[in-house]
Structure formats: structure tokens, C-alpha cells
């Protein structure tokens, strides 16, 4: 068994149906249903700045120790109040676009946050509203409202909206947050990076490196595709979750292969061209098809800012692709196809939830249920992060590749450390 009883898989960066490009069926009931199927034990609410969504949260969730519980026929399910903000402003003569995730301990704190936003502009048009506020001023205001509010730079490397993004970001947290930088305790890796990449940055060696999905739907190939694993030995409370983040005392994370992310490599989607950082340098940063500047991806941006070496302290992380992706790879049809769902549902019925299947269930048990040697090999290969992925770039997801090479046994290398 890899998963321990005290582990809590949490996805604290999600959205509601009120955010752009999100499923219109994104409601609390569906989030809870599919979180259970995935094996997630704690969700962020997302989008608490949106008036209608906030009203639903207040109506359906009951607070206990800063955790907000939803109750249905399946029992109680916990949430933490969370949201994402889009900050668009000018600093040092450059346009900045930065997304921040932030967690709040109470509806009282949320109401104060929303009152402040109302003095700045509208927040009712989108679940992730845009404000002309600097990173520094936002972090300072959150501290003023309630020191327990946690601000986490979201998907920090994405070119357009990451705090380190190549198109509109900064070269350091200090540059972005100024005198508030010490109050930034954690960063979110985003789909296109993992802890090892982030730990190449000297400034991040003393920060917590967390992972969440930024999910725009409740489907299990989106929800929980990245997650943070907390320790429940001391129970579940807002203060305990925040303590683990601030003290870098959580168990670890679930990551996708960074190549799976939309912005891992450099490239031009319109030109159907992508390349590695080394190839981009050889091309002088220009697209060979249109002769315009390539969009600099996460791999190149990390390479640009990297100065430090990996620290001695190690923390667990798993590199996993969603189970639907693995089934789809095996049978050669889409993740949302009837054929893919038939196999997925069969596995869930037998083994309870997806994380259990991805991390715990033995190959022999899987074979008894599936009778498909290649699919079982792929699941076991995925468990140790060995599924090859053609890197994503310029808004295009990476593509998992079918490779029937040697599969490491399930008792070898099941986990990585950083």
C-alpha cells in the first residue's frame, strides 16, 4: 500500500460554473460526487467573489473549525473557502498579468474581501474577476483583513498569467510582492512544471511547493489531476491546513508529467511548431514557419531563471496521468467515449476511487478485473511516472504516447522524492 490512512488528497484551486470556459454543470453536488470518485478528500470552493456562487456556498455549507462541510446521502464532505483573482496592472513600465489563488478562514473574511473589491470595481461578471491591483497591494490587503488568509501564486510559470511567466511576469517573488514577499509561503507548480523544476530556483528553496488542478470541470481527468497531500494526524481544520502550507509540513503532491501541460515547450500553435529550449536558442527565438517570436514555454523560462541546486530536504511527489488518459491511450479513442467510461466505471466499482487504482491496487488484482495485459502494464508504468508524453506548447496539451517498452515492477520506484 502506498496511500496511508492519514493522507488527505486536496485540490484547493478549482472553479465554479460562473468562471469563463467552465462547465455549466459545475455545482457543489457534482464537485462532491466526482471528488469522491477521484479519491479527493478536501476541495476548495473556488470563486467566492461571485455573488450567486457565494450565496450557494453560504446556503449549502456548514462551518466547523474553518472547514465548510456539505452533507448528502454519501455523508459529509469538506471544503475550504478559496478563490482566484486576476491582477492586470503596470509595474516598472511593463504590463503585468498575474493570477493568485487565496484561501480564507471564514465567510466574515470573505465578505470583507468582497467589500474591498466592490470599492475597486465589479466582481459579478466572472468567477475569476480582473482588478487593477498589484501583487504587493493585494497581499498587503489580505494581511490587513485577516492574517490567516493564505495567498498562493497560481500556476507560476504559465507565460501569460504566471508570476514568473515569460510574457507578463516577474523574475522573482521579491520583485512581484516587494515587502510582502515573506508572506508568500507557497507557490503552485501548474500543470507544466513539477517540484524538481521549481527547486532549481534559489528563491523557492524555502517555499512550500503545492499542486492543484485549476479545474474548469468536475470530470476526473481534470479534477484532482494535480493535488496536495496533507497529514490528518492532528485532524482537519483550516488552521492545521494553513500551518502545513506555511511550515512546509504536508506530505507531498500529485503531479502530471510537466510535458502534459499546455505551455511546457516553446512554440507556435498556429504554425503547428514546438521545440525544446535548446532548439529555440538555435533558432534565435524565432519560429521557422512565420519568422515571429516563439512563445517561450515553462521549460525555457525555468532554465532562464534557474540558479540554485536541489536542497537536501526531500518531499514525496507522484507523477501521474489521469486514469482516463491511460485507458484512452490503450484503446485508442477519446477520454469521454463510451468505451473509455465502461472500463473506468468497472475499475471504480471494483476498487472504490481513482487514486487507489493509480497508486495502490496490485497488477494481479487489476489483471483479474481487466483481463488486458497491456492496459495493466500502462497503469503500472504510469504509477512510476514512465508514460512518455509529447510536450504541450502555446496552449496545446501534451499528448501521451503508447510505448510498450520495459515496465518497471510495481515494487520498484513507486515514488519520487524532492
Q: What angle do CA 66, 63, 71 make, to 5 degrees?
A: 125
Q: Which residues contact 137 (CB under 8 A, 6 or more apart)?
A: none
pLDDT confidence of residue 412: 36
**Sequence-separated (6 or more) residues with CB below 8 Å from residue 82:** 12, 13, 14, 44, 45, 46, 48, 101, 102, 103, 104
Beta partners for 341?
Answer: none
Judge whether 248 and 204 are in contact, CB under 8 Å.
no
CATH number at residue 20: 3.20.20.140
The domain in which residue 213 lies consists of: 1-418
| Number of domains the chain is built from | 1
Q: What is the dihedral of CA 356, 263, 216, 13, to 10 degrees?
A: 70
Q: Collect the ranges in the chain with pLDDT lower than 50.
A: 404-418
Structure pTM? Answer: 0.95
* Cell numbers describing residue 77: 464532505
Stated as kind and residue range, the H or E segment containing 239 is helix 238-246
Helix (H) or strand (E) holding 18: none
Q: Cα separation of 77 and 84, whole Å?
A: 22
Q: Give the per-residue pLDDT at 308.
A: 61
Is 67 within 8 Å of 236 (Cβ atoms)? yes
The pLDDT value recorded for residue 314 is: 72
**pLDDT score at 37:** 98
Contact 132, 88 (CB under 8 A): yes
Amino acid at each position: 500500500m502506498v496511500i496511508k490512512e492519514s493522507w488527505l488528497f486536496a485540490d484547493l484551486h478549482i472553479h465554479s460554473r460562473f468562471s469563463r470556459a467552465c462547465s455549466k454543470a459545475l455545482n457543489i453536488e457534482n464537485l462532491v460526487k466526482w471528488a469522491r470518485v477521484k479519491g479527493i478528500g478536501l476541495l476548495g470552493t473556488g470563486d467566492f467573489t461571485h455573488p450567486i456562487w457565494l450565496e450557494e456556498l453560504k446556503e449549502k455549507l456548514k462551518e466547523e473549525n474553518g472547514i465548510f462541510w456539505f452533507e448528502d446521502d454519501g455523508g459529509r464532505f469538506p471544503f475550504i473557502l478559496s478563490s482566484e483573482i486576476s491582477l492586470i496592472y503596470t509595474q516598472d513600465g511593463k504590463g503585468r498579468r498575474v493570477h493568485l489563488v487565496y484561501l480564507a478562514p471564514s465567510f466574515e473574511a470573505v465578505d470583507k474581501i468582497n467589500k474591498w473589491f466592490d470599492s475597486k470595481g465589479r466582481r459579478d461578471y466572472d468567477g475569476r474577476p480582473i482588478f487593477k491591483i498589484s501583487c504587493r497591494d493585494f497581499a498587503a490587503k489580505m494581511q490587513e483583513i485577516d492574517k490567516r488568509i493564505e495567498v498562493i501564486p497560481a500556476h507560476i510559470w504559465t507565460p501569460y498569467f504566471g508570476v514568473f511567466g515569460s510574457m507578463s511576469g516577474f523574475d522573482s517573488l521579491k520583485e512581484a510582492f516587494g515587502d510582502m514577499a515573506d508572506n508568500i509561503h507557497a507557490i503552485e507548480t501548474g500543470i507544466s512544471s513539477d517540484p524538481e523544476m521549481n527547486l532549481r530556483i534559489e528563491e523557492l528553496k524555502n517555499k512550500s511547493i503545492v499542486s492543484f488542478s485549476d479545474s474548469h470541470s468536475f470530470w476526473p481527468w481534470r479534477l484532482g489531476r494535480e493535488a496536495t497531500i496533507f497529514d490528518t494526524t492532528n485532524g482537519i481544520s483550516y488552521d492545521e491546513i494553513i500551518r502545513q502550507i506555511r511550515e512546509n509540513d504536508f506530505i507531498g503532491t500529485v503531479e502530471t508529467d510537466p510535458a502534459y501541460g499546455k505551455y511546457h515547450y516553446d512554440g507556435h500553435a498556429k504554425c503547428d511548431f514546438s521545440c525544446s529550449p535548446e532548439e529555440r536558442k538555435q533558432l534565435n527565438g524565432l519560429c521557422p514557419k512565420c519568422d515571429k517570436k516563439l512563445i517561450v514555454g515553462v521549460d525555457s523560462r525555468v532554465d532562464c531563471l534557474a540558479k540554485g541546486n536541489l536542497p537536501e530536504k526531500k518531499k514525496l511527489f507522484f507523477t501521474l496521468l489521469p486514469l482516463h488518459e491511460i485507458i484512452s491511450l490503450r484503446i485508442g479513442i477519446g477520454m469521454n467515449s463510451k468505451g473509455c467510461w465502461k472500463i473506468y466505471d468497472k475499475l471504480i466499482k471494483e476498487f472504490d476511487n481513482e487514486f487507489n487504482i493509480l497508486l495502490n491496487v496490485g497488477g494481479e488484482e487489476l489483471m483479474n478485473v481487466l483481463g488486458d495485459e497491456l492496459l495493466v502494464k500502462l497503469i503500472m508504468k504510469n504509477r512510476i511516472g514512465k508514460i512518455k508524453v509529447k510536450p504541450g506548447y502555446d496552449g496545446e496539451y501534451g499528448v501521451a504516447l503508447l510505448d510498450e517498452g520495459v515496465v518497471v515492477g510495481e515494487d520498484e520506484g513507486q515514488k519520487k522524492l524532492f
